[in-house]
A and B are shown apart, each in its own frame.
Chain A
Amino acid sequence: MILKMSWRNIWRSPLRSLVVMGAITIGTWAIIFLMSFSFGMVKSYVNNAIRMETSHIQIHTPAFKEDREVGNLLPEAESKLATIKSSAEVEAATVRTILNAMLVAPKGTRGVIARGIDENEEIKVTEIDQQIVEGSYFGKGKNQVLMGKSLAEKLGLKIRKKVVLQFQNLDGEITAGAFRIVGLIDSGNKMRDDGSVFVRRGDLNRLIGSEKAGHEIAIFLKDAEQIQAKTAALKTDYSNDLIESYTEISPDIKLYETQIGTSFAVFVGIFMLALIFGIINTMLMAVLERTRELGMLMSVGMNKGRVFGMIVLETLMLGLVAAITGMILGWITIQYFSGSGIDLSSFSAGLKQFGMSTIIYPALDGAYYLQLTISIIITTLLASLYPAYKAIKLRPVEAVRKI
Chain B
Amino acid sequence: MKVIEAKGIEKIYNPNKIPVHALKGVDLEIEQGEFTAIVGPSGSGKTTLLNIIGGLDRPSEGSIEVGGKDISALSDNQLIDFRKDNIGFVFQAYNLIPVLTAKENIEFVMLLQNRSEAERNQRTNELLKAVGLEDKIDKRPSELSGGQQQRVAVARALASKPTFVLADEPTANLDSESTSNLLDIMAKLNQEENMTFVFSTHDQRVIDRAHRIVTLVDGKIDTDVRR
Contacts and interface: CB of A to CB of B under 8 A. Distances in A.
A16 interface: no
A303 interface: yes
B108 A300 contact: yes
B77 A5 contact: no
Interface in A252-303: 292-293, 296-303
Contact of B112 (A4, A9, A302, A400): A302
A143 B100 CA distance: 87
B93 A12 contact: no
A306 B99 CA distance: 17
A299 B76 CA distance: 11
B104 A298 contact: no
A8 B99 contact: yes
Contacts of A396: 56
Interface in B98-157: 98-100, 104, 107-109, 111-113, 156
A203 B97 CA distance: 89
A396 B93 CA distance: 14
A301 B98 CA distance: 17
Contact of A300 (B51, B98, B99, B109): B109
B107 A301 contact: no
Nearest to A403: B93
Give the most central of A1, A9, A301: most B CB within 10 Å. Answer: A301
Contacts of B81: 301, 303
A304 to B, nearest CB: 7
Given A1-B107, A1-B111, A5-B100, A301 B156 contact: no
Contact of B89 (A12, A300, A302): A300
Given A296-B91, A397-B51, A397-B56, A301 B99 contact: no
Interface in A389-403: 396-397, 400
A302 B97 CA distance: 12
A12 B99 contact: yes
Given A300-B109, A397-B51, A397-B56, A293 B83 contact: no
Interface residues of B, number: 28
Contacts of B85: 301
A302 B110 CA distance: 11
Given A300-B89, A301-B81, A301-B109, A293 B56 contact: no
B57 A300 contact: no
Given A302-B112, A397-B51, A1 B104 contact: yes
Interface in A293-344: 293, 296-304, 306
B80 A304 contact: yes
B17 to A, nearest CB: 17
A292 B95 CA distance: 8
Interface residues of A, number: 21
A401 to B, nearest CB: 8
A298 B98 contact: no
B112 A304 contact: no
B196 interface: no
A296 B95 contact: yes
A5 B97 contact: yes
B49 to A, nearest CB: 12
A1 B112 CA distance: 10
A292 B112 CA distance: 19
A276 to B, nearest CB: 26
B84 interface: yes
Contacts of B107: 1
Interface in A1-30: 1, 4-5, 8-9, 12
B77 A12 contact: no
Contacts of B51: 397
Contact of B57 (A296, A303, A397): A397
B160 interface: yes
A172 to B, nearest CB: 90
Contacts of A299: 54, 56, 83, 89
A49 to B, nearest CB: 58
Contacts of A397: 51, 56-57
A9 B99 contact: yes
Interface string A334-361: 0000000000000000000000000000
Contacts of A12: 98-99
Interface in B7-33: none
Nearest to A307: B80
Contact of B156 (A293, A300, A302): A300
B117 to A, nearest CB: 11
Contacts of A301: 80-81, 83-85, 109, 112-113, 160
B97 A306 contact: no
Nearest to B56: A397
B172 to A, nearest CB: 13
A12 B54 CA distance: 30
Contacts of B111: 1
B84 A300 contact: yes
Give the most central of B51, B83, B97, B107: most A CB within 10 Å. Answer: B97
Nearest to A303: B80
20 contacts: A1-B104, A1-B107, A4-B99, A5-B97, A9-B99, A12-B99, A292-B95, A297-B97, A299-B54, A299-B83, A300-B89, A300-B112, A301-B81, A301-B83, A301-B160, A303-B77, A303-B80, A304-B80, A306-B112, A397-B57
Interface of B: 51, 54, 56-57, 76-77, 80-81, 83-85, 89, 91, 93, 95, 97-100, 104, 107-109, 111-113, 156, 160
Interface of A: 1, 4-5, 8-9, 12, 292-293, 296-304, 306, 396-397, 400
Given A296-B91, A300-B89, A304-B80, 4 more contacts: A1-B107, A5-B99, A297-B97, A397-B51
